[in-house]
Amino acid sequence: MDAEDFPTPDVLVDTVAPAALRNRIDDGEDVFLLDTRMSAEYEEWHIEGETVESVNLPYFEFLDDEINDDVLEQVPGDRTVTVVCAKGGASEYVAGRLIERGNDVEHLEGGMNGWASIYEAVEVTGYEGSGTLLQYRRPSSGCLGYLLSDDGEAAVIDPLRAFTDRYLNDAEERGVELTYAFDTHIHADHISGVRHLDAAGVEGVIPAAAADRGVTYADGLTTAADGDSFRVGTATVETVHTPGHTTGMTSYLLDGSLLATGDGLFVESVARPDLEEGDEGAPDAARLLYETIQERILTLPEDTLVGGAHYSDAAEPAADGSYTAPLGDLVAAMPALTADEAAFVETVLADMPPRPANYEEIIATNLGQESVDDETAFRLELGPNNCAASQGSLAGD
């Protein structure tokens, strides 16, 4: 059933905005979630947190006139229950049924689609280059992006198409002109916003090595080769080719202070090497990733901040709330970074998570081989990103 197919409850159902629910979870409040999506959807991704208790009871369990006692026993009567679905229709209906029975219930506005619309920004206070650096994060998928602003200009790195207007508005509010939009690689988990920003008058930049994968729109954008530099106010953005996750994977060194590593190195893990070349090509890609980390990343000063394009539940935020960390701290915390090549490859290839949902269609869209509307683009990127190797096999004790 679609959201509009559910009858309107006969009782008033309170809603909670996604951002408000996020704040409760961040503040450590106890939250009980009743997720009414189908089990497969729930298992793929759902809202989690240290103080979150979540139960999956599909909506059809509540359609009969008499709700099964076994179902009702799983819904607490002594605490507030927040009902969740995909778009908000089923959750409002289920919440109404439970309110009629005397439960204290609300439902999540917009469902998991609403949850996926949360896009937060924190200032990276450890950044010591010129200007100010923001890190964007999307809690639903762990996507990270960056906005560097200095002396009247700004650049965004790894923008998401769904938040194109957000970057433009944030630049305007900060009194700067958004001049560049950089992609680190051909993403497999979300639709890139570089082309949309370029159409809005921002200079779109993609790695030259990524364009070699068959990007159909490369002639309309600027391509960045290894060692190229771009000026953002008085700050410098330097291109550093860092292949491994993909052949075109490229990092950007922001005024010598932070390396935006895309999907090459995260604060809790390293890239998975199989999304471009498949299982057969993964060992060679892992060896290339090892070479990249040893020769292109670990040769930087150990106080260089590392900021990836994703974070997972295993990641610990820095004191400023950003998912960044000094390179030296990552070396100390992640044994894989100091392993020899054979051990590194074995570790990275072991126990890789499922590939991102819809990754083939997302890659085709980001290459320009397929075209999708905004609604389809948003739907394709729902769910976890899974662009990292297994965190458990890479982190220390």
d(CA 271, CA 244): 8
3-state secondary structure of 203: strand
Quick count: other Cβ atoms within 10 Å of Cβ 294?
Answer: 15
CA distances from 318 to 17, 26, 171, 253, 327 (A): 27, 15, 24, 19, 13
Catalytic residue from among 31, 75, 81, 85: 85
Query: Which tokens is 310 given?
Result: 């994703």
Helix (H) or strand (E) holding 22: helix 18-26
d(CA 316, CA 219): 40
Is 85 a catalytic site residue?
yes
The conformation of residue 294, written as its DSSP 8-state character, comes to I
Query: Which tokens is 216 given?
Result: 């159909």
Q: Residue 81 in contact with residue 93, Cβ under 8 Å?
A: no
CA distances from 21 to 112, 120, 381 (A): 12, 13, 21
Helices (H) and strands (E) in the chain, counts: 13, 18
Q: Give the residue numbers annotated as catalytic, written as ranges.
A: 85
